[in-house]
Amino acid sequence: MKRIVRLMSDYCSSGLWAEEGMIEHSSLNLSKNLSKRIYEWVSTYEGWLDWSDPGNSPEPPLEEQEDFDKEGIEIWKQLIDELGDDYEVVYFGDKPNLDRHNFTSVDEYLEYCSLLGKNNKKTQIVTE
């Protein structure tokens, strides 16, 4: 049975989650490069929070959200490659209008964004 690892940004977290909760990068033997990318990605997310008044944190600019999401997709792909067949790597979409879905494949994620994009141009994502 494959172990599920979820890539999900959250405040004061490693950005990686399993059934038992947050997990440390070292438990997965990730490359230093990937671990650094994940921590920087989570740091970007944390930078959007007004720590003195979290409930009134302003919405980050759409362009920043899209850049954040593109980086999340690239990290997701690298996690899939590094962890191999023993893991199912899930991306927890936190982009506006994604309804906080758990995506199990990049294709599923891009298809979902494409469907949303037909109704809302702001949700479209271009990846290479």
Where along the chain do its domains lie?
3-123
**Given a cut of 80, is residue 14 above it in pLDDT?**
yes
Using a pLDDT cut of 70, give the percent of the chain over it: 73
Supply the pLDDT for residue 103.
Answer: 64
Q: What is the pLDDT of residues 62-89, one digit of tens each?
A: 888 888 888 998 999 999 999 999 998 8
Supply the pLDDT for residue 112.
Answer: 62
Supply the pLDDT for residue 61.
Answer: 87
Give burial (CB, 10 Å; 0-12/13-18/19+) of 77.
Answer: middle
Collapsing DSSP states into helix, strand and coil, what is residue 83?
helix
Q: What dihedral do alpha carbons 61, 106, 14, 25 form, nearest 10°? A: -150
**Given a cut of 90, is residue 109 above it in pLDDT?**
no
Give burial (CB, 10 Å; 0-12/13-18/19+) of 85.
Answer: exposed
How confident is residue 99, by pLDDT bands cut at 50, 70 and 90?
A: very low
Q: From start to end of the chain, where are the E strands?
A: 3-7, 16-18, 21-22, 87-92, 102-103
Supply the pLDDT for residue 127.
Answer: 38
Supply the pLDDT for residue 50.
Answer: 79
